[in-house]
Amino acid sequence: MTPDRTVARALAREYNARNDPIGWFEALYARAAHSDAGLEVIPWADLAPNPHLVAWLDAFPPPAPGARALKVGCGLGDDAEELQRRGYDVTAFDVAPTAIDWCLRRYPHSAVRYLCRDLFDAPDEWERAFDLVVEAYTLQVLPPHVRPTAMARMARFVAPQGRLLVICRGREPDDPEGLMPWPLTRAELDAFRAAGLEELSFEDYVDSEDPPARRFRSAYCRPLAPDDGAHAPR
173-208 confidence digits (pLDDT tens): 999 999 999 999 999 999 999 999 999 999 999 999
Q: What is the pLDDT of residues 47-59, one digit of tens each?
A: 999 999 999 999 9
**pLDDT tier, 29 (very low <50, low <70, confident <90, very high otherwise):** very high
Distances in Å between the Cα of 91 and the Cα atoms of 75, 79, 141, 157, 231 are 13, 11, 22, 12, 18
Instruction: Tell me: pLDDT of 142 over 60.
Output: yes
| CATH dotted code for 46-231 | 3.40.50.150
Cα distance between residue 25 and residue 36, in whole Å: 18
Instruction: Tell me: pLDDT of 223 over 70.
Output: yes
Q: What is the pLDDT of residues 53-92, one digit of tens each?
A: 999 999 999 999 999 999 999 999 999 999 999 999 999 9
Share of the chain above pLDDT 70, in %: 96
Instruction: Tell me: pLDDT of 233 over 60.
Output: no
**What HEC string does 13-61 produce?**
HHHHHCCCCCHHHHHHHHHHHCCCCHHHHCCCCCCCCCHHHHHHHHCCC
**pLDDT tier, 230 (very low <50, low <70, confident <90, very high otherwise):** low
The rounded mean pLDDT for the chain is: 95
